[in-house]
Chain A
Amino acid sequence: VIERLLENWLNRANERSFQYPFCYLLASQGYRVVHLSRHCGMEIGKDVLAIDPQGVPCAYQLKGVGGGKLSQRRWRSEVQAQVQPLLNTVIVHPSIDPKLPHRSFLVINGELEEEVFYEIKNLNDCQERDGYSNRKLEVILKGDLLDGFKKLQTDFWVENLVETKTYLEMLLENGKGQLPKDKLSRLIQAALPFDREGDKAPSKNEVARSLSGCAIICASAISSFTNEQNHVAEFEAWTIYFGYALGLAGRWDLPEKDIQFALDIATDGMYSALERLCDELMQREHLVEGDALMDRFVYRVRVTRLLGLMGIYALWRKSRIRSGEQDGGESRDVFLREFARKHRRLVQLWGEGAVPEFLAFYFYYRTIDPTQDRVHLLGSVIQGILQLNGRGQGKLANPYYEAEAILPYNLGIEVKPLHDSFAGSSFTLEGVTHLFVRLNYKQTMKQFFSELTRMQYYTLEYDEPWHFHLYRIKAETGHHKTVMLNPPHSWKRLAEIAAECKGESLPSRMRDFVFQYLCVINTFPHRFNSDGIRWLDTRLGEMGLG
């Protein structure tokens, strides 16, 4: 059954949805993946670049054929033209020596028509005849992929039959809605060796194999979202995977190099999804989705999400351009600036789950806007939380509630009562307040302060730092802290607290990944805390993005 499931997924996959599993397959075989294509208009005929265990550069062109056969017509009209540069042009990449000859591969999730098989043979014969015997096209077919994928995840299915139902449920999603983060997290957690007999750490090979197998499970589980080009869901999925990979390293204190390949590919997945989301936004004339009349009720929630994600992308992009990891592009910068400016007034604080979105937007907006707008933006979040959750209120759900879960209550259409009160408490207010204090607007802070002293500030402390990465920490662990501000309330003391920036509550390895941390709290908003956001604000400042 499992083989059939895997085959079924592979048959339905387009080149983008099997690209990441393919990269993890390569990584598990000792290859170093150095480049993945975004699958946009800028493709250069080399979807994946890797260096094999012997140091030979390899270039791969991926083609989705829906489990069928690559026809001669498609070969001639589309693929053949891409194969020429794949074979005959130099690989331009900082990690690859351009003087070294490379191997070229065509990877398809199906078979070749007989005619195509002969055309490829003919092509390779001609290359040999012309003296280019080292420039032959090699082909990786569905059977090869399936064999590789199966080998990587045999243990998972044997040991986690319970999760098969979860996997199937995800596979059957229509892919247009919100990613079921709880289900995906459960799958990923089950696929990675967090619990082991005798508490014995897994070997390097076991780690590599489980991370690769888990990536295949992740990619195939979200394939309906990938096929629908639901970039936000893809972004969230790879962010969750990234977090769990870091969590696994923390659990067993693994050397960084053992998990680096997994982090690199997942990071690419996160960034590429944001980039594709930006591509889509650049092409769209409006931000309405689905039924326009009903969209009125969620429109601003979507805009807030998009502003947050584009905020992360814009900052990350700036950093990558500065470090030479990618080229700039004026039109994209202009779009991102205009997008932020045009929609900034539409942000909606629908719950504390939106606070990381506000802050991601704020972090970007302050880099493009020298006016007081950024101060107002941050101030409005504080004011919003105080008004909605202050004395006798309780209308702003805590960050454990996702938009789709809480909006029916906000809109007054949910008949089931909500047995949870949010009055007088907040998980995120302390962090936002500290960012505001850093802006040094003492008089405005004085206006807020009386109400701030009436609030209870919630935080979660983890028994083990790596628990931070889990969707929900294990039962019987964790410390829920409720803190009230204690007088005397002096500006000086508050400024000192707000200036602290060590981020000690974060797992130490998380602090190596500034943008990924921003992605994590935008995917798991309940992992937001004041300590982390102060650290992030400082790090962005140090990177010249403050």
Chain B
Amino acid sequence: LKLERSPLEATPLLPDYPNLKARLMELVSERMRRVESGHAGVFDLGEEKMIQEGQRSTLHREDGTIQDVEIKAIRVSQTLDVDFQSLETLKVSDIFALFDRLALAAAQAKAKHAFEVFSKEIEKVGNVESSKNPMHEKLLSSLQMMEFDFVGGQPILPSFVVNPNTAPLIAEALKLIHESPELMRRYTAIIDQKREQFRDREAARKLVE
């Protein structure tokens, strides 16, 4: 938050209430987090972990691959014109609206960054479905590429994050898969295969001689 320099700053001896203002800022920050979380969509499922020390981070996965985790500061800015000569007329709702806009911008910037990271990593391992096949084929092909876990024998299926125009096409393709015996058979086969892979992974968690 960068405010334009106030002409009043030249008179630093006016009484101030920094503790109260800091407390208010804390509350505003909390509100921003909530607003940002509301706009984060699928990314709100992620956990917030604080890295206390270290300027670079790597993830050493179970399969032996190592991924550099980029630590990136995301900056967003929004402007609110304030007339310092008549600050008392500034509406509280305008202040909150500014912070809400900032939170939205932060959520969007974070999502954009996350998608960029995903794209980069997915392309690196070749898990890209860019064929001109019908949507149901693309979905089955995508599922085939993915790894997912099971709870009580049921798969934890992935979420779709798509352009609003694409959403009806996905819904239609999913309906088609469930209604077509042939497509359903292929879908079930993929799930069965994934279940086996999941069981193998779980079995591999055992400590052997």
Mutual binders A and B:
yes
Please report A residues at the B interface, Cβ cutoff 8 Å.
394, 398, 400, 416-417, 419-423, 425, 442, 445-446, 449-450, 453-454, 460-461, 472-473, 475-492, 494, 526
Q: How far is the CA of A445 from the CA of B56 in the complex (A)?
A: 33
Query: Chain A residues with Cβ under 8 A from B33's Cβ?
Result: 419
B54 touches A460 (CB 8 A): yes
Q: How far is the CA of A131 from the CA of B204 in the complex (A)?
A: 87
Chain B residues contacting A485 (CB-CB under 8 Å) are 62
Are B60 and A473 in contact, with the CB atoms below 8 A?
no
Provide the bound-state CA to CA distance between A416 and B29, in Å: 11
- Please measure, in the bound complex, the distance between the C-alpha atom of A416 and the C-alpha atom of B58, giving whole angstroms: 30
- Known contacts A446-B206, A446-B207, A487-B62; is A460 also within 8 Å of B47 by CB? no
User: What are the residues of chain A within 8 A of B57 when measuring CB–CB?
Assistant: 479-482
Complex contacts, B53 vs chain A, CB 8 Å: 460, 472-473, 478, 480, 526
Is B50 close to A, CB under 8 A? yes
Given contacts A483-B60, A484-B60, whether A421 and B48 have CB atoms under 8 Å apart is: yes
How many residues of B are counted as interface, with CB atoms below 8 angstroms from the partner's CB atoms? 29
Q: Chain B: residues with CB nearer than 8 A to chain A?
A: 26, 30, 33, 47-64, 69, 202, 204-209
In the complex formed, the residue of B with least CB distance to A471 is B53
Question: CA A481 – CA B59 in complex, angstroms?
Answer: 6
A489 touches B205 (CB 8 A): yes
Q: A453-B62, A481-B58 are in contact. Are A489 and B50 (CB under 8 A)?
A: no
B64 and chain A: residue at smallest CB distance: A486
Q: Which residue of A lies closest to B60 (CB)?
A: A483
Q: Give complex CA distance A476, B69 in Å.
A: 15
Docked-complex contact B207 and A445, CB < 8 angstroms: yes
A494 & B207 in contact (Cβ 8 Å cutoff): yes
Q: Is the CB of A488 within 8 A of B204?
A: yes
With A475-B55, A484-B60, A486-B64 as known contacts, state yes or no: A423 contacts B207, CB within 8 Å.
no
* A446 to B208 alpha-carbon distance, docked (Å): 8
7 A-B pairs with CB atoms under 8 Å apart are: A442-B207, A480-B51, A480-B54, A480-B58, A482-B57, A482-B60, A489-B205
A residues in contact with B207, CB < 8 Å: 442, 445-446, 449, 489-491, 494
Closest 3 CB pairs of A and B: A480-B54, A478-B54, A421-B47
Query: CA–CA, A119 to B62, complex, Å?
Result: 79
A488 and B52 CA atoms in complex are apart in Å by 32
A417 to B34, CA, bound (A): 11
Contact of A449 among B61, B69, B206 (CB under 8 A): B206
**B101 to A: closest C-beta gap in Å:** 21
